[in-house]
Amino acid sequence: PGPDRSLHTATSRDGIPSQAAHRLRRVAVLSVHTSPLEQPGTGDAGGMNVYIVQTATRMAERGVAVEVFTRATSSDLPPSVELAPGVTVRHVAAGPFERLGRTELPAQLCAFTAGVLRAEARQEPGHYDVVHSHYWLSGQVGWLARDRWGVPLVHTAHTLAKVKNAALADGDRPEPRSRVIGEEQVVAEADRLVANTRVEADELIQLYQADPAKVLIVPPGVDVDRFTPGDQAAARAELGLPPHAVVLAFVGRIQPLKAPDVLVRAAAEMLARQPELRERLVVLVVGGPSGNGLDQPEALRALVAALGVGDVVRFLPPQPGPDLARVYRAADVVAVPSHNESFGLVALEAQACGTPVVAARVGGLPVAVADGSSGLLVRGHHPVDWARALERVALRPGYRAQLAANAPGHARGFSWDRTAAALLTGYAEAAGAFTASLRSAQ
Ligand code: UDP
């Protein structure tokens, strides 16, 4: 009921009654361009990897086995690896193992698809109940697998070329038309499209003409066992930061879309306004090079030098979860200045650690951050606006404490358990509808 009637809002459902009804046993997850075994925060590995690991693990805990197909990127990799009980990663040979960029992958999709279909053909008929593809490259593979296996295709875009191209950072290259066409095909062919937020659902419907009845809104989660509030002083000591520093952090892949330069420019603006801050200001930039901006860390370092803030900016390599929690705890504010973000897991993780977030008012970030309650949203990317917002939180201890107190509660409103349960419900519904449509076609 209500205005969202045309959408399958699985957000508030817990438990998976319909799963039993449709006897879901095994899901094929397609993740062509990046492996759930990779460390997120660099290259092509980011939120999607975390999403797949977290949801697959929790689905397996609920008795549904998950097999993730990904491209083999080294000859040393075994054909399959058990990521967690009930979760298997299958490596598919498609093209040379190393030095094959994401933009070269469309030419390898046939090889990848052949590998996936052959793996299934070695199993008993009906091995998979559903195929869930992540990112448009996988969607292309899933489209064929769906038709061959007679199971529904559930697709998550993670990013959309039309949305990305409408919010390009200076110097960033637009996504090619071939990707837009490929996405349009997947949107048309998938049985269910998973969107993180209502905003993303509308993008699918308005920009890609998705059938609203196919769109399922499923918010992502946050690992609240790993990302917990903790002692800021201890975290700073472990990172070698002074206890009374003003610490601003950027966490994520270093690419134009993520806009770490906005934080650096804002820090320079803060120092221009308050030179005495130079003694205390620390800007942490955590993550590795990525995307079409493999030169970005160098460009960012050049910007840091040009703005004269080399003494306050510290670069850290991608951090695994437990170390990342330490970074979040050490920071007064985590900045998420992205030009676009379909959700922004970093924002949730920082808040789960009790750290307020200053984020761009784009994409899913207004859902990830409760404006004025657990952090602040900033319109646009002007360094003066960002400096003001960062100062407002980082330099006013009372206000910061208020936001910090609210942040973990806001983050706990999201949970990977609920995400996994909602996906399973969506799979079961899609399987039921798929079977019914096959029957009526007979
Ligand atoms: N991440 C990490 N270590 C790092 C930087 C990032 O493990 O040094 C993880 C982070 O915990 C988050 C993910 O990478 O879960 C990034 O997800 P987000 O949605 O913020 O951005 P995306 O990569 O999807 O664009």
Q: What is the pLDDT of residue 34?
A: 95
Q: Residues 219-232: pLDDT tens digits?
A: 999 999 999 999 99
Q: Residues 110-127: pLDDT tens digits?
A: 999 999 999 999 999 999
pTM: 0.94
CA of 40 to the centre of ligand 1 (A): 6
Nearest to 143 by CA among 105, 164, 112: 112
Q: Which atom of ligand 1 is nearest to the CA of 338?
A: 25
Q: Residues of the chain whose pLDDT is less than 50?
A: 1-21
Q: What is the pLDDT of residue 5?
A: 31
- 322 burial (CB, 10 Å; 0-12 / 13-18 / 19+) is exposed
The pairing of beta strand 215-217 with beta strand 246-251 = unpaired
- Tell me what ipTM this predicted complex has: 0.99
Q: Residue 337: CB within 6 Å of ligand 1? A: no
Q: Residue 53: CB within 6 Å of ligand 1? A: no
Determine the distance from the C-alpha atom of residue 294 to the mean position of all C-alpha atoms in its chain, rounded to a whole number: 19
For a pocket test of ligand 1, which of 224, 345, 353, 367 has the largest count of ligand atoms closer than 8 A to its C-beta? 345
Q: Residues 341-352: pLDDT tens digits?
A: 999 999 999 999
**Contact 218/304 with Cβ under 8 angstroms?**
no
Q: What is the pLDDT of residue 371?
A: 98
Nearest to 282 by CA among 243, 319, 321, 225: 243
Q: What is the pLDDT of residue 2?
A: 32
CA of 316 to the centre of ligand 1 (A): 14
Q: Residue 252: CB within 6 Å of ligand 1? A: yes
Residues in contact with 410: Cβ distance below 8 Å, sequence separation at least 6, in sequence order: 351, 369, 370, 373, 374
Burial pattern 121-142, b for ≥16 Cβ within 10 A else e, equals eeeeeebbbbbbbbbbbbbbbb
Q: Residue 319: CB within 6 Å of ligand 1? A: yes
Q: What is the pLDDT of residue 90?
A: 98
